[in-house]
């Protein structure tokens, strides 16, 4: 009888260990549900656009810092000016970045960048103004 008690105790411990290892690490709580009352404030994006320097540092510098995949380099105003001249206006240059150009995906992998932030990033990289 004592062997059965030891075996079932060991099995319960194993089950508890397994349950602990596979338990969820978080919980989804949707606004309006009871659990949302205890949730902290959600970060707001209303603080304004990120600076061009911040956007470039986070999303653009890998290619535009080195010229990777024929990307115009940060600070190479001549190359940027040639691109602007080919497109006709600063606004068209911004549109080409928003839509993607060559090897660059739309918005250069900054899916949450606003059009204004893309424009600020181009200003920072190129030294050109709209």
pLDDT in tens, 19-77: 888 888 878 888 888 877 766 555 445 578 999 999 999 999 999 999 999 999 999 99
pLDDT at residue 44, rounded to an integer: 46
pLDDT at residue 45, rounded to an integer: 53
Looking at residues 76-95, what average pLDDT do you find? 97
Domain 52-126 has CATH 3.40.50.1820: no
| b (16+ CB within 10 A) / e for 19-57 | eeeeeeeeeeeeeeeeeeeeeeeeeeeeeebbebeebbe
What are the residue ranges spanned by the domains of the chain? Answer: 52-126
Question: Rounded distance, CA 26 to CA 119, Å?
Answer: 37
- What are the two backbone dihedrals, phi and then psi, of residue 104, each rounded to the nearest 5 degrees? -80, 125
Contacts of 113 (CB under 8 A, 6+ apart): 50, 55, 59, 107, 121
Whether 113 shows a pLDDT value over 50: the answer reads yes
């Amino acid at each position: 009888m004592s062997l059965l008690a030891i075996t079932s105790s060991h099995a319960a411990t194993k089950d508890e260990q397994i349950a602990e290892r596979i338990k969820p690490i978080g919980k989804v709580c949707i606004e309006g549900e009871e659990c949302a009352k205890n949730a902290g404030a959600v970060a707001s994006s209303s603080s304004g656009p990120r600076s061009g320097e911040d956007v470039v540092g986070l999303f653009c510098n890998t290619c535009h810092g080195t010229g990777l995949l024929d990307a115009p380099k940060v600070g190479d105003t001549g190359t940027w000016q040639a691109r602007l001249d080919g497109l006709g206006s600063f606004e068209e240059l911004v549109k080409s970045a928003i839509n993607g150009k060559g090897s660059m995906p739309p918005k250069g992998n900054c899916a949450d960048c606003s059009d204004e932030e893309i424009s600020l990033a181009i200003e920072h990289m190129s030294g050109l103004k709209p």
